[in-house]
Structure 1
Amino acid sequence: MEALRLILLYVHLIGFALLLGGSIAQFVSGRLRINAAMLWGSVIGLLTGIGLSAPLRDGDEPAPAKLVTKLVLALLIFVMVFFSRKRESVNRGHFLAIIGLTLVNAAVAVFWR
């Protein structure tokens, strides 16, 4: 089971890299639009996060409050990305919220023990 958990964690980190990298690339380019990397990163992050929340370890599961917090953040990010994917341009505040929520989600994963 540990191998499965590590594979899920690896794919989860790839999803995070796609989401954050895609959004930073769009932000730096000046054209605030949802790209494929952001969409796939949000989908991968959400699905692998749900998989990682399964009790795959021996008594070392994260706190339920942490899991719920990360799930809510991941759902917010996914909804913001998914429903804005076909727009020609996205509001600056909306786009910055996607980046901010992505960074907050990573911070919750790292700092909440």
Structure 2
Amino acid sequence: MEPLRLILLYVHLIGFALLLGGSITQYLTGTLRINSAMLWGAIVQVVTGIALSAPLRDGDEPPSAKLAVKAIIGLAIFAMAFFSRKREQVNRGHFLALVGLTLVNAAVAVFWK
């Protein structure tokens, strides 16, 4: 079970890299839009996040607050990327909020014990 968890964690980190790297690349071009790397990064993050959280719960054990916060932020990031993916340009605040939520989600994962 541990090798599977490590593989999922590795793919989860690749999703983070796609999401953050795609957004930085897009920001540097000057045109704020949702590129395919950002969209796929958000998809990978949500799918692997769900897969990583499933074995952590034992039947009657409720999900932790950290898991709930990460799920809400991850779904918000996905929704922001998915529903704006076809626009030629997104609002600067929308784009920066997506990047900010990505960084907050990583911070929750690292600092919340």
**What TM-score do you get using the length of structure 2 for normalisation?**
0.93
Partner of 1:48: 48
Task: Find the counterpart in structure 1 of residue 90 from structure 2.
Answer: 90
- Is the contact made by 1:8 and 1:51 (CA closer than 8 Å) also made in structure 2? yes
Q: Deviations 1:25-72 (Å, cap 9, x if unpaired)?
A: 111111101100000000000000001102259xxxxx7100000000
2:13 aligned with 1:13, yes or no?
yes
Kindly report the root-mean-square deviation, in angstroms, between the aligned alpha carbons of the 2 structures.
1.5
Measure the CA separation in 2 of the matches of 1:42 and 1:21.
12
Q: Which runs of 5+ in 2 are unaligned?
A: 58-62
User: Runs of at least 4 residues of structure 1 off by over 6 A?
Assistant: none
* Residue matched to 2:104: 104
Residue equivalent to 1:69: 69
Preserved CA contact (<8 Å) 1:18 1:40: yes
SS of the residue corresponding to residue 54 of structure 2 reads: coil
Unaligned runs of 5+ in 1: 58-62
> What do residues 75-103 of structure 1 show as CA deviations (whole Å, max 9, x unaligned)?
00000000000001000000000000000
Q: State which drifts further: 27-36 or 96-105.
A: 27-36
- Counterpart CA distance in 2 for 1:91 and 1:10 is 32
Report SS of the residue matched to 2:86.
Answer: coil
TM-score normalised by L of structure 1: 0.93
The question of whether the paired residues in 2 share the 8 Å contact of 1:2 and 1:56 is answered with: no
Aligned letter for 2:95? F
| Paired residues, number | 109
Describe how 1:17-32 pairs up with structure 2 within 5 A.
Answer: 17-32=17-32
Distance 2:7 2:28 in 1: 31
